[in-house]
Amino acid sequence: MEKNTSNWVKFRMLWAVVPKDCREALIWEFIFSPAALRQRWQEEVNFRRIFDSHWDLKQ
């Protein structure tokens, strides 16, 4: 799924989790630097996987 996710979907997913003061940079990345947007999205996906795996271990 991740490889086929469009930049628009990645942008919307990040928009939901980034703080409001970081959204201007997110808009800039979406328009002018799609590679940076993809990298930021991948970092968020990796973080959530690690977080979820540790959360499952604690329960």
Q: What is the CA angle 46-51-55, rounded to 5? A: 150
Q: Where are the alpha helices (DSSP H) in 1-59?
A: 7-17, 23-32, 34-58
List per-residue pLDDT tens for the chain, 59 residues long. Answer: 455 678 888 899 899 988 899 899 999 999 999 999 999 999 988 998 888 887 766 65
Q: Would you state the pLDDT for residue 39?
A: 92
Q: Would you state the pLDDT for residue 1?
A: 43
Q: Which domain holds residue 50?
A: 2-58
Q: Would you state the pLDDT for residue 59?
A: 59
Domain count, the chain: 1
Q: Would you state the pLDDT for residue 24?
A: 93
Q: Would you state the pLDDT for residue 54?
A: 76
